[in-house]
Amino acid sequence: MDHLTLYSFSQTLADLPADESWLAAGERDRVAVFRFPKRRNDWLLGRWTAKQALHSFLAQSGHDAPEYRALEIRSAPDGAPEVFLNGQPAPVSLALSHSGREAFCVISRPGIALGCDLEAIQARDQAFIEDYLGDEERLLMAHAPAEEQPLLATLIWSAKESALKCLREGLRRDTRSVLVSVGGAGKSGWSSLTVRCLESSRLFYGWWRSAGGYVQTVTAELPAGEPLELRV
């Protein structure tokens, strides 16, 4: 079976440039319509994070390092990010997420179903567990020590979000229709996971780690090694 190489990158709101000269023309039009500063900053931080990662990924993949303004991240009709370089589809697959003051993205080769998610670790009440987790996941939660439950609940939820992005459906689909299984620990803080779509039996392979009060998850349609951190 073919294996992927995944690349990840994170930024915080403090990393966002004061100017917006790095935006493509279409992105400048898009950001101009935001009424609320938080929504605007979230959107900008996601694009800035992704563009830095894309610049590094394309350069190390043998392409000319593009200007940031030549890169445009558009939203597909289903909301998924799509990368364009000088107006043409770029040779990459991209997944993007943000939470609080942080953004997280994952990049791989083109044509791959890819998802990622970033979630702040927090306790979830029983109503959340009953509404969004499946039977096996609820059983896993019930047997976990109390001090581990906030992390576990956040991990399960985040892995579901990542897999639903792979399916290009997001939270339009019932989160109980995908089942998360947590695997063994890897290196560099990453641990493995899988997510199975109960309707189609489609299986997604992934990784997760916790850092700085957040959980990061990555899923893809093919097995992959631990995500490699991009340097910019």
**Mean residue pLDDT across the chain:** 93
Whether 2 shows a pLDDT value over 80: the answer reads no
pLDDT (tens digit, 9 = 90+) per residue, 155-169?
Answer: 999 999 999 999 998
Average pLDDT value for residue range 5-13: 96
Whether 31 shows a pLDDT value over 50: the answer reads yes
Residues 93 and 111: beta-carbon distance below 8 Å: yes
Q: What does the alpha-carbon distance between residue 47 and residue 167 come to, in Å, rounded to a whole number?
A: 22
pLDDT (tens digit, 9 = 90+) per residue, 144-193?
Answer: 999 999 999 999 999 999 999 999 987 788 999 999 999 887 777 999 99
Average pLDDT value for residue range 109-127: 95
Question: Where along the chain do the CATH 3.90.470.20 domains lie?
Answer: 7-116
pLDDT (tens digit, 9 = 90+) per residue, 87-103?
Answer: 999 999 999 999 999 99
Any long-range contacts for 167-175 (C-beta under 8 Å, 24+ apart)?
167/113, 167/197, 167/202, 168/76, 168/78, 168/80, 168/113, 169/78, 170/78, 170/79, 175/132, 175/133
Whether 30 shows a pLDDT value over 90: the answer reads yes
pTM for the model stands at 0.93
Edge-to-edge strands, sheet with 88-89: 71-75, 81-85, 88-89
Name the nearest CA neighbour of 115 among 36, 178, 201, 52.
178
Q: What is the CA radius of gyration of the chain?
A: 18
- At 1, is the pLDDT very low, low, confident or very high (cuts 50, 70, 90)? very low
Domain 7-116, classified CATH 3.90.470.20, yes or no: yes
pLDDT of residue 184: 80
